[in-house]
């Protein structure tokens, strides 16, 4: 826990430092405590350092010339305010839903002409296999897997039961799997 003391700013003439600079200097020994405080709440060390800097920046930018009775209490209140602002920003940006880009999954593979031609050939085989399905099964498969409709929505649209939709999807997947395997594309 930071030390408990008071801080009363000195006059600000040309030779004296500003009250805000003095306050920031007095708060610096509390930096280690602040790092621990933020590390317990935020698991990213880089972000922890940013939060500590935010506290010091707010202290240095303090607009009031009023003395601070309890410096440690003021620092604690500022730290909690910084955490609350961080939570609001993360919530507004949906930061917890972001996924880190993984180069192993999304590498910088060049799309060479051979790879493009191979992909087009595989797509052609998949379309040909899809076209061999009965029309209703093909329609249900496309609605479910390609268009993203839910089974209940498809059932209501086609006037069939949900279990019938599920059976058509299973039938389509099995048929496409065997067709692609037979053509050695799977």
Condensed to tens digits (0 to 9), the pLDDT of residues 83-140 reads: 999 888 888 877 667 677 776 666 556 677 888 888 888 888 888 888 999 999 999 9
Q: Facing residues of 68 across strands?
A: 7
Q: Facing residues of 7 across strands?
A: 68
pLDDT at 170 exceeding the cut of 70: yes
In terms of Cα–Cα distance, which of 142, 166, 139 is closest to 152?
A: 166
pLDDT of residue 81: 92
Q: Output the average pLDDT for the chain.
A: 80
Structure tokens at 185: 């594309």
How many angstroms separate the CA atoms of 66 and 19, rounded?
10
- Is residue 79 classed as helix, strand or coil in its secondary structure? helix
pLDDT of residue 58: 86
- Kindly report the CATH class assigned to 113-182: mainly alpha
Query: CA of 24: how far to CAs of 29, 76, 178, in Å?
Result: 10, 14, 71
Count other Cβ atoms within 10 Å, centred on residue 110.
Answer: 6
pLDDT at 30 exceeding the cut of 70: yes
Domains of the chain, by residue range, sit at 19-97, 113-182
Condensed to tens digits (0 to 9), the pLDDT of residues 34-74 reads: 888 899 998 888 889 999 889 888 887 887 778 778 877 88
């Amino acid at each position: 826990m930071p030390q408990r003391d008071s801080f009363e700013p000195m006059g600000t003439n040309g030779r004296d430092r500003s009250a805000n600079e003095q306050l920031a200097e007095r708060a610096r020994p509390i930096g280690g405590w602040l790092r621990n405080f933020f590390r317990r709440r935020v698991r990213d060390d880089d972000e922890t350092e940013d939060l500590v800097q935010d506290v010091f920046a707010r202290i240095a930018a303090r607009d009031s010339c009023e003395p601070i009775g309890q410096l440690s209490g003021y620092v604690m209140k500022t730290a909690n305010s910084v955490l609350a602002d961080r939570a609001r920003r993360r919530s507004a940006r949906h930061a917890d839903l972001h996924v880190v880009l993984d180069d192993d999954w999304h590498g910088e593979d060049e799309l060479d002409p051979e790879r493009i031609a191979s992909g087009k050939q595989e797509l052609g085989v998949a379309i040909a296999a899809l076209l061999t399905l009965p029309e209703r099964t093909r329609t249900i498969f496309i609605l479910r897997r390609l268009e993203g409709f839910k089974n209940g929505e498809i059932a209501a649209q086609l006037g069939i039961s949900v279990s019938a939709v599920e059976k058509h999807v299973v039938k389509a997947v099995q048929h496409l799997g065997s067709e692609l395997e037979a053509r050695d594309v799977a």
